[in-house]
């Protein structure tokens, strides 16, 4: 997606070989118009996949997921990473390791927001090692539902996430695939 890649080059900051800071438009400050375009891309790609619900993991994936859900006229569900006093019973949970934060967290989905008839599109802001996506997949499949596909805003293609998900049979569609990062270096996969 050209406008996303242009924005990454303009405002993204590669801090080192693995960290790309895009907080000015994706996950702290949010460029709503760009997120609308992201939603359009995901809608166009996944419109014939039989999707019934769209899931994301709090909180950075919310903006692109909302825009996709609006355009596809589908319900959106946010998987929770934080412990909740309200969400205690009737939930699916799985442990996910965050390489970025070097910690584990419990990913939680209330059973009332999924049925075994759902075909779920999972959207996230980044794909690196694939741990977050695999956690979301575990929750969807534990409920007896199907994963219709995985939409990623920015993929770090030099890390194993994409291959891991594809080897397990999941369709991954990424809008910007990064081949190389380094201090001041951002290179995209040639497509």
Note the pLDDT of residue 102.
73
Q: For helices 32-46 and 62-72, what crossing angle results, to 10°?
A: 50
Condensed to tens digits (0 to 9), the pLDDT of residues 56-70 reads: 998 889 999 999 999
Q: Stretch 90-111: mean pLDDT, rounded?
A: 85
Are 41 and 74 in contact by the 8 Å Cβ rule? The answer is no
132 annotated ligand-binding residue? yes
Note the pLDDT of residue 83.
63
H-helix segments, 82-184: 131-142, 161-167
Count other Cβ atoms within 10 Å, centred on residue 95: 11
131 annotated ligand-binding residue? yes
Please give the Cα distance from 58 to 30 (Å, whole number). 15
Angle at 58 between CA 57 and CA 64, to 5 degrees: 75
Note the pLDDT of residue 175.
98
Peptide bond into 10 cis (omega under 30): no
81 annotated ligand-binding residue? no
pTM, two decimal places: 0.94
What phi, psi does 175 have (nearest 5°)? -85, -30
128 annotated ligand-binding residue? yes
Condensed to tens digits (0 to 9), the pLDDT of residues 9-65 reads: 999 999 999 999 999 999 889 999 999 999 999 999 999 999 999 999 988 899 999
Q: What domains appear along the chain, each with residue ranges and CATH number? A: 2-188 (3.40.50.2020)
The residue among 88 and 170 whose pLDDT is bigger is: 170
> What proportion of the chain, given as a percentage, has pLDDT over 70?
95
Condensed to tens digits (0 to 9), the pLDDT of residues 132-155 reads: 999 999 999 999 999 999 999 999
């Amino acid at each position: 997606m050209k406008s996303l890649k242009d924005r990454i080059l303009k405002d993204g900051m590669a801090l080192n070989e693995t960290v790309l800071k895009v907080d000015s438009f994706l996950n702290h400050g949010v460029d709503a118009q760009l997120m609308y375009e992201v939603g359009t891309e995901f809608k166009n790609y996944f419109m014939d996949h039989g999707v019934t619900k769209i899931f994301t993991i709090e909180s950075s994936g919310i903006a692109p997921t909302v825009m996709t859900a609006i355009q596809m006229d589908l319900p959106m569900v946010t998987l929770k990473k934080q412990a909740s006093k309200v969400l205690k019973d009737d939930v699916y949970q799985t442990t996910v390791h965050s390489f970025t934060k070097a910690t584990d967290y419990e990913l939680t989905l209330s059973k009332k927001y999924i049925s075994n008839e759902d075909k779920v599109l999972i959207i996230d802001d980044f794909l690196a090692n694939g741990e977050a996506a695999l956690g979301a997949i575990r929750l969807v499949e534990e409920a007896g539902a199907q994963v219709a596909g995985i939409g990623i805003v920015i993929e770090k293609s030099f890390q194993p996430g994409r291959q891991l998900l594809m080897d397990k049979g999941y369709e991954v569609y990424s809008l910007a695939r990064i081949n190389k990062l380094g201090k001041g270096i951002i290179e995209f996969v040639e497509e």
